[in-house]
Amino acid sequence: MSLLRRSDFLQLAVLGLLAGTLASGWAAVPITPELQQMNEADRARQIQFDAQVSLREKIQVGTQRYEDRQAFRQALVNGMREQADARQEEIAGNRPALGESPEHKGFGSTNMILAVFLLFAGFLAFRYWQKQNTEVPSAY
């Protein structure tokens, strides 16, 4: 039961903090001592002017952020388009054949001799290992 009361208290405390934050957030223009000393008409004009300036600055910042995001997206789309074009050219066959490019050399005779030698050495090593494991140790 005490847990339930504690959670209700926490919920009320959070709601109270949110309500206080919202109330202070509604005041878009701070009221300075200079504004408090003005008469009501001048204060209203000054607050209206400050609000318009603040709104203009926010719109400029928002517009700049939007343009930055759009430029980033456009650069991303252009990069993806270039990758897609390169992939399409690769698939379409606009690249040199395997035998034509210098990086795809054939399996030369030297490589063939080396491969045969390594296979033969591997076979001898396997036979030696097999012979060692099949010999029966002599009984003394």
pLDDT digits (tens, 9 = 90+) for 35-49: 777 788 887 888 888
Q: What is the mean pLDDT of residues 84-112?
A: 73
Q: Where exactly are the structural domains of the chain?
A: 28-95
64: helix, strand or coil: helix
DSSP-based three-state secondary structure for 93: coil
At residue 1 the predicted structure's pLDDT band, cuts being 50, 70 and 90, is very low
CB 28 within 8 A of CB 51: yes
The single residue listed with the structure tokens 């002017």 is: 49
Question: How many CA atoms lie within 13 Å of 56's alpha carbon, on the beta-carbon side?
Answer: 6
pLDDT of 20 > 70? The answer is no
Q: What average pLDDT is seen over the chain?
A: 79
Eight-class DSSP state of 98: T
